[in-house]
């Protein structure tokens, strides 16, 4: 078939335009340029969280080891940047989760959380009643933790439900329920981002033990507490945390039990109650020498390779603990399926797509 000069010219121009506009292999002119039109990553900071910059610190106990446990010897490690909640999860925040996955059982997330709980527990949840017991806070901790000789019925009946306690930290939640909350929060947050055609964030989770201590130190090295100075009171004599200052003395810090989640001054990262008020679940399995003997020196986390360890790290001390447990280097544990009136949690979220110390 013969083509005139004008036809050849038109065909050549069309081929050039097709190439310039990205037609197949010729669109990149044979060069490796990556896939076009990928979504932009905005590295969002969720509401109520603060960013902890990457850095290096000395992890371990800077306080006298009064228990002679020798399970927190000092070790230098490097941490990547991450986000962490500025407060402990409150009753009202946890209630949003419960309403979504239990009361709102027709919610799209309810089945996913149910299946998640079965996977984490490693056993089948037989009915809705058993599921509710796993998700709802155990309000009986206010009696069980103290035996039969204490009048805590007002807390049993009201602490989780009454609006007077909305801003108080949720307690009576075991490690598995805290993980389920993190899982639901991931689904909830990423569903909104998907509706805006934004890429998902990594999963919300409990902070690792190293992340918790790094954040609690507030950017300082070799400190005993999240604040500067070796004392639990400031220069005016005011307590700096909610704990048990002396035998039988719970009220000296202003609260006989827990306190609202923003009751005391934050540390230099803007984090409230990193010690005192309620101790906090961490991601790690507890092993006496875990962070020293087994975990790596960059972003360490300890998980029992035998998967038989039911103990989980708890950090920070609670309203009923003495000052020793307020030290940012003091390690403690509780069994994963245990609920207590002095243990709560906060969430963490990895910062991705950015390396080096954020300044």
User: Distance (Å, rounded) from C-alpha 112 to C-alpha 110?
Assistant: 6
Phi-psi region of 329 (alpha: psi -120 to 50; beta: other; left: phi over 0): alpha
Using an 8 Å Cβ cutoff, are 357 and 54 in contact?
yes
Non-local (6+) Cβ contacts of 313 within 8 A are 209, 281, 282, 283, 284, 285, 286, 331, 332, 333
Q: Please tell me whether residue 121 adopts helix, strand or coil conformation.
A: helix
DSSP 178: H
Could you give the CA distance from residue 200 to residue 179 in angstroms, rounded to a whole number? Answer: 19
Q: Where are the domains of the chain?
A: 49-350
Neighbours of 16 (CB within 10 A): 11
The predicted pLDDT at position 12 comes to 45
Residue 237 confidence (pLDDT): 83
CATH class of 49-350: alpha beta
Residue 97 burial (10 A CB sphere; 0-12, 13-18, 19+):
buried
| Helix-helix angle 175-195:91-98, to 10 degrees | 70
Burial class (CB in 10 A: 0-12, 13-18, 19+), 248: exposed
Contact at 8 Å (CB) between 81 and 52?
A: yes
Buried b (16+ CB within 10 A) or exposed e, 31-53: eeeeeeeeeeeeeeeeeebebbb
What is the side-by-side strand order in the sheet with 343-344?
332-335, 311-315, 279-285, 343-344
Half-sphere exposure of 53 (CA within 13 A, CB side): 12
Task: Write out the chain's pLDDT in tens, 359 residues.
Answer: 444 554 544 444 444 444 445 445 556 788 998 998 888 888 899 999 999 999 999 888 766 665 545 555 778 999 999 999 999 999 999 999 998 887 655 667 888 888 888 887 777 887 777 888 889 999 999 999 998 788 999 999 999 999 999 999 999 999 999 999 999 999 999 999 999 999 999 999 999 999 999 999 999 988 899 998 888 888 888 889 999 887 878 888 889 999 999 999 999 999 999 999 999 999 999 988 756 566 788 999 988 887 778 999 999 999 999 888 899 988 899 999 999 999 999 999 999 986 545 44
Rounded to 5°, the CA angle 23-25-27 comes to 45
Residue 344 has a pLDDT of 98
């Amino acid at each position: 078939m013969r083509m005139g000069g004008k036809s050849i010219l038109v065909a050549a121009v069309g081929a050039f335009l097709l190439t310039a506009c990205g037609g197949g292999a010729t669109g990149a002119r044979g060069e490796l340029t990556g896939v076009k039109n990928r979504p932009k990553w905005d590295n969002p900071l969720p509401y109520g969280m603060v960013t902890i910059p990457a850095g290096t610190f000395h992890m371990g106990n800077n306080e006298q080891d009064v228990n002679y446990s020798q399970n927190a010897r000092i070790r230098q490690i490097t941490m990547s940047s991450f986000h962490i909640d500025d407060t402990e999860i409150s009753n009202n925040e946890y209630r949003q989760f419960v309403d979504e996955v239990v009361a709102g059982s027709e919610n799209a997330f309810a089945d996913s959380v149910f299946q998640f709980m079965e996977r984490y527990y490693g056993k089948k949840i037989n009915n809705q009643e058993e599921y509710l017991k796993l998700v709802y806070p155990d309000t009986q901790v206010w009696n069980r933790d103290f035996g039969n000789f204490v009048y805590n019925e007002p807390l049993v009946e009201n602490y989780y439900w009454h609006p007077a306690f909305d801003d108080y930290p949720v307690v009576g939640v075991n490690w598995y329920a805290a993980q389920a909350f993190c899982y639901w929060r991931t689904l909830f947050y990423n569903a909104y981002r998907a509706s805006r055609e934004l890429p998902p964030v990594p999963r919300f989770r409990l902070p690792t033990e190293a992340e918790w201590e790094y954040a609690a130190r507030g950017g300082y090295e070799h400190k005993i507490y999240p604040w500067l100075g070796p004392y639990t009171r400031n220069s005016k004599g005011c307590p700096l945390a909610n704990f048990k200052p002396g035998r039988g003395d719970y009220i000296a810090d202003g609260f006989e039990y827990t306190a609202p989640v923003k009751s005391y001054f934050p540390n230099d990262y803007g984090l409230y109650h990193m010690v005192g008020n309620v101790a906090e679940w961490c991601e790690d399995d507890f092993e006496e020498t875990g962070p020293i003997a087994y975990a790596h020196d960059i972003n360490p986390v300890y998980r029992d390779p035998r998967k038989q360890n039911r103990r989980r790290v708890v950090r920070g001390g609670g309203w009923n603990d003495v000052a020793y447990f307020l030290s940012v280097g003091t390690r403690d544990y509780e069994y994963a399926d245990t609920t207590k009136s002095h243990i709560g949690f906060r969430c963490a979220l990895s910062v991705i797509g950015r390396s080096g110390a954020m300044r």
